[in-house]
Every structure is written in structure tokens, then in C-alpha cells.
Structure 1
Amino acid sequence: MIDLWLVLALLVLPLAVCIAWPLLRSQTRGARPPVESANHSTQAMLYREHLAELEAALESGSVDEAQYASLKNELARKLLAEEGAAYRVSAARSGGRGLLFALAFALPFAAVGLYFSWGAHDDVALYRDIAASHSGQSDMVVEARITQQLRERASTHPQDLSSRYALAQRLLVSNDIEGAVAQYRYIVAHEPEAVNVRAELAQALFFAGGSKMTPDVLSEVNQVLEVQPNNTTALGLAGIAAFDRKDYGGARAFWQRALDQLTPGSNAAQALAAGVARAEKALRGAGEQLAAGEVPSDVPSQGDGDDVADEASRIAVQVTLSGSVQPAPDTPVFVYARTADSPMPLAIVRLTAGELPAEVVLDESRAMMPGRSLSTVNEVQLVARLAIGGNARPAPGDWQGEVKTLSRAQWGKPVHIAIDQKI
């Protein structure tokens, strides 16, 4: 906030100096002999000299009594007129000092007060918090404050779609997927041409459905690709849809188109490259060949071929429910992997309580966002949570089980999580 106060000072202080300048000049002149007093003494002296001359003329008989009286009155009127002008000038120069002092001191305080009352002080503070968050210089308290302030702004300023968009992204990262979907839907309803936001809505809907393709997701993806055929988020989802229906060639084509637009070697590029390699492996397993002109993807791997590359970012988790917990069969169960420093899942699967016990696989196809997947980390936490309230965000009353630390070297081994701890 220091630079803000410096700007305010640069705007207000010069004006205060302009107001105070006449006072400073007046005080400087006050140290000099008063001109008005000197003028008054000179006029009085001249009056006495002229009066003495009139009296001498009267005594000598040069003027009579009537002329003497007339000239004396004229001399007095002249003296009064000159002294009155001098008085008015003096009064004009010395008056109003108190008002100028009051304005010089009150103006800066009034400006600051009006700024806090009418200005965008809260918005500036929020912007600074968000900038600190993006640079990794915030903590959990600041993050919670940012989200709360964005919620309040979305409520009080419904026309501010930029703040609502920032809120949607934060809710998605914090695993409040239903909240993120609601915000994305609001933006798309008011700005149908916001294609990138529609793509993120499709992604949020995909996560809300337990990382499964639904008609809503496909509808949003198709609308995005009609306008932006090379939208990487939509292409990634389209590839997942094609892979799910065993159209491995289509999945490879979608993922390769998205991969071609990304910076080689980036986390997002590595995740998509792994997907392309998986699609090629599935094609070979189905006895199909790559189309003419297509070159197999070059995905770095260790050991023997594609199997090692796939297994390197794959975690199989056996999930069971404690016998002391008796939820409704349709109660959602979220199984996900995350890092210790972020609540954002790297991979997530949605089940229901009626499907337990079950084995799920967390891999690149379950990644929530491009650039954040299992292939980008070497250690994760595993969580299986029974969402009693049906919300993707953890809430009191939910049940969960977890593995606090699982290194990459252990990912190839079976992992068991029992949901037996109440939040």
C-alpha cells in the first residue's frame, strides 16, 4: 500500500502548498516595515503642512473666513479618502488567514476520508492479495480471505464477471467443484461468447461427474470446438470421450492436436504426450495401425517399453468402508491424489457408497487440469472421502481415510484405504 499513499500524497500535497503559499508570502512580508503605516505618516504630515499654510494665508488676509473653511474641509476629505483606501488594502491582505490554514490542513484528511468512503480501497487490497497468491507469497489465511472477498463481490457486484471468473477458478482448485460449476454457468449465461470459460465449465462438469463424460460435458465440448477447434481444454476432454468409447484413433488425434499447441517439455505437454502414448498402445492392442503419415509419439520412459511409461503415473487403490458407517447407497465417494502443499487433486475418481468395496485407478486420464497430473510429482497423498452432504468440498460430518505419504517408488504396489475417520 506504500505506493498508493505516495500517489495520494503527490496529488494532494501540491494543492495544499498552493493554498498555503499566500500565507507563507504574507509572513515573509510581515518581517518588512509596514508600507501602509509609512503612507499614513506621510499623509498626516502633508495634511499638517497644508493646514499650516491655510492658517498663515488666513492671518495674512490672502483668504477670507469662507474660503479658509472651504479649503480646510476639502483638505480633510482628501485625507480621509486616502486613509480609507489604505485601510481597505491592509484589511484585504491580512484577512482570511485562518480559513487558508484550515483548508491547507483539512484538505488532505478530507481527501483520504473520501477515498476510503467512495474509492476502491478494498478492490486494491484484494488485487494485491491475488497477486501475492499467484506468486506463491500467501498463506492459508490469505487464501481463505481472498475466496471470501470474491464471494462477497460476486454477490454485491453481479455484473463483475472478471471477479466471478477468478472465484470459479479458486473454487475449482480448492475442490469445491459444485461451487465452481455454478459460477462458470453464471458467466456463460451472461457471456455466451466466452468460449474459454465454456471450456473450463466443461472441465468442471467433468470433475463434478466423477471424471466421467456426461451429455452435459459433451454438449459444452462440442460448442467450444465449433468456435475454437484448437482449444486445448476441449480437445483434452474430447480425447477422453473418444478413449472411453474405445475410439483410440480419435483419442490420439484429439490429444495430438492439443499437444502440438503446447510448449515442448512443459508439464501439460508431458501429460498429453502420455495420453497419446496410451492411445497408441491401445491401438496396437486392438490390432490397428497408425494412419499413413502418423509418427508414434516419443514419450520418455524407463525400462521396457510403454508398459513402464504407463505404470510410472498409475496408482491402484482398493477402497473399503468401515462397518460402523451406514450411508445411503447413492452417497458420493471421492477418491483422489494430491500433493501436501495444495488441496487441488492431481487425479480424482467419483464413486458411490453402494459400489464399495471397489478398486479404482488414478492415472493421467483422471487429471483435473492440464499441467497438474501425477506425472509432474514424485510424492502424493491419497484420500478417500464419503461426502455425506453430497458436496465435493470436505465438510463436517463426512467420513474419510487417507495415506499421508506415498512416494513414486510405491505407486506400483497395491494401496488400501479404509474410510473410517469422521471429519
Structure 2
Amino acid sequence: MLALWIGMAVLAAVFALFALWAWRLAPQFAQAQQRFEQEDNTTAANVRIFYTRLAELEQQRDDQTLSAQQFDEARLDLERSLLSDSTAAHKQALAGPYQGSLWWSLAIVAAVVLAVVAYLNTGSSSNVELYGVRQSIEQSGDTSPAHYIERFEAEAKRHPGNADVWALLYPLYRDSGRYQDAVGALSKVITLRDAEHDPALLAELAQAKFFASGRVMNSDIAATLNEVKRLDPRQPTMHSLLGFTDFTRGNYQGAIDHWRLALAGQSNNADETTLRQGIALARQRLAQAGANGSPDSPSNGNLR
């Protein structure tokens, strides 16, 4: 985070130097422009052109190629043209080189202040710090899950309203077997992101609750799964969990049906492999049960 503020300060300083450089050179440019306008001989050139053209008209009149009336009309047009060119060539006096500099300086300061305030209110300074934590962990040489959890937990205490830090903690808790902590982290992600109706996150939450309860299906988990069913009947994580519960209850056909639905919506190669292996094992158990004349138990995975 310190590097970010240093970078912003350096950019502001560079911008200020360019502004001061232009402000310092303003008198030189003003003098150069004034000299140019003083030495401008556009009006004199227009007068010379006027007299040259007038001499041509007089010569045409003397040669009788122009009538007196045509000569007067042409001379009037020529005089009007000279008057128009002289009016256009008149330039407004230059303003002082420092005129308006105070307002521009105030505008620049206000823009910098507004940018900082806007970033503090709507920016992601906490995520910048989170990125710095990840970088420091990778550079420390200790990239164990415990080290990540320790550092991210410290960030969660500092920024409890940052959903991203809880989203990073959730898989670390889950993969470390800390399922109750995983449930808490994912619940915070759902609350902070206003994702109470996100079927994917709710299915993940139900799965975390299932493992936190010692792989026992209870009413709370069932209610969460029913909400997922309502939002997305083909949600793969939900069907993966229901297939697992059916398998453990001996309902191998129900497990196969759920895992096939989970496989259809799965995009992770490792999870696809696990599901295919589970389906193959369920079919093997189903065939063994049929050979022994013992039908599989009725499905208990269809929650109501």
C-alpha cells in the first residue's frame, strides 16, 4: 500500500513540475507573440495589393474594356475587400502571461484532492494490501497453507468488510479440514457480496456445512439445498453432494443419476475425473447388489 501512495505522489509531483515549467515559460511565449504581432505586416501587404489591383482597374478603364459604371462597382468591391481584410487582421490585445493562473492552480489542486477522496471511498486499497501480503508470502519462502491462513486472518481482522480476503480464506480452511471455519468464511463472502441468491455459492455453503457436521445431512443443509434446487435445478455442486449422500446410503442408482447431472455441468477436469470414478464405482456396487439379489435401498437424496 505504501508503494501505491508513493507512486501517486510521484505522479502528482511530475505533473506539478510540468505545470510549473509551463508557468515559468509563459512570459517568454507572451513576449514572442507580442513581437510577432508588432512585426506583422499583413495590413501593409493588403494595401499594396489594393493599389496594384486598383491600377489594373484604371488601366482597363483607360483601355475602355471597362465602362465607368463597371469601374466604380469594381473599385467599390475592392475597397470593401480591403476594409474586410483590415478588420479581420485587427487582433485583440494579449492578456497578461499569468492571468488565470490562480484559478488553474486551484483547479489542479481540487482535481488531485477529489481523485484521492474518490479512491479512498470507491477504490480497492484493501485489495492492494492483500496483493502485497500474497507477494510477501511468496517471497518469504514459506508458502504453506498455515502461513497463508495466518497472514490472511490478520488481514481479515484489519478489513473484516473485504469479501475478497474471506474468499481466499475459504478454500484454505476447506482444504485444511477446518470445515467450520470454512462455513464462516463462505457465509461472510455471501453476505458481503449480497449473494444470498447465488446458487453456486449456496451449493458450496451446503457442502461445507455437510462436512462440518461430520457428513450428516441435517435440516439446515437440506433447506440450503432446496433453495439451490429452486434457483438452479441442475447445479453441479448440489448434485455432487446429493450423489455422495445417496452413495453412502446404498442408493447407487440415485448416486449415478446425481453424479451424471453434476458431470454435465462440471468444467473442472479434476472434479470430472472424480465424478467418473464415482459413477463407475456406483455401477459396480449396483451390479454386485443385483447379482446378490439385494435391490438398492430407496433414494433418500431427494430432499423436500
Listed one character per residue, the Cα deviations across residues 195-253 of structure 1 (whole Å, up to 9, x for unaligned) are: 11111111111111223333333332232123212222111110011112211100011
1:281 aligns with 2:284: yes
The corresponding residue for 2:18 is 17
1:126 touches 1:146 (CA, 8 Å); kept in 2?
A: no
Q: 2:156 aligns with which of 150, 155, 176?
A: 150
Q: Give the direction of change, closer, same or farther, for the CA distance of 1:191–1:269 in structure 2 (3 Å limit).
A: closer
2:26 touches 2:98 (CA, 8 Å); kept in 1?
A: no
Return the offset for 1:278.
Answer: 1.4
The corresponding residue for 2:129 is 126
Question: Secondary structure of the residue that 2:290 maps to in structure 1?
Answer: coil
2:244 touches 2:255 (CA, 8 Å); kept in 1?
A: yes
Bigger proportion of residues as strand? 1
Q: Distance in 2 between matches of 1:208 and 1:195?
A: 20
RMSD value over aligned CA atoms? Answer: 5.0
Q: 1:213 aligns with which of 208, 217, 220?
A: 217
Q: 2:275 aligns with which of 260, 272, 277?
A: 272
Amino acid paired to 2:25:
L
Listed one character per residue, the Cα deviations across residues 307-337 of structure 1 (whole Å, up to 9, x for unaligned) are: xxxxxxxxxxxxxxxxxxxxxxxxxxxxxxx
The corresponding residue for 1:305 is none
Question: Secondary structure of the residue that 1:139 maps to in structure 2?
Answer: coil
Q: Distance in 1 between matches of 2:190 and 2:291?
A: 40
Q: 1:195 aligns with which of 199, 205, 218?
A: 199
The corresponding residue for 1:171 is 173
Task: Write out aligned runs for 1:1-400 (5 A).
Answer: 9=10, 13-26=14-27, 120=123, 122-129=125-132, 139-140=143-144, 141=147, 144-154=150-160, 157=161, 161=163, 163-186=165-188, 188=190, 191-263=195-267, 266-287=269-290
Q: Give the direction of change, closer, same or farther, for the CA distance of 1:108–1:148 in structure 2 (3 Å limit).
A: same
**Where do 5+ consecutive residues of structure 1 fail to align?**
31-91, 290-423
Bigger proportion of residues as helix? 2
Number of aligned residue pairs: 228
Listed one character per residue, the Cα deviations across residues 116-140 of structure 1 (whole Å, up to 9, x for unaligned) are: 977857424235248769x999835
Q: Distance in 1 between matches of 2:163 and 2:273?
A: 32
Listed one character per residue, the Cα deviations across residues 337-388 of structure 1 (whole Å, up to 9, x for unaligned) are: xxxxxxxxxxxxxxxxxxxxxxxxxxxxxxxxxxxxxxxxxxxxxxxxxxxx
**Where do 5+ consecutive residues of structure 2 fail to align?**
32-95, 293-304
Q: Give the direction of change, closer, same or farther, for the CA distance of 1:194–1:129 in structure 2 (3 Å limit).
A: farther
TM, length-normalised to structure 2: 0.55
Question: Secondary structure of the residue that 1:233 maps to in structure 2?
Answer: helix
Q: Give the direction of change, closer, same or farther, for the CA distance of 1:93–1:183 in structure 2 (3 Å limit).
A: closer
TM, length-normalised to structure 1: 0.41
Return the offset for 1:254.
Answer: 0.7
Q: Give the direction of change, closer, same or farther, for the CA distance of 1:182–1:142 in structure 2 (3 Å limit).
A: closer
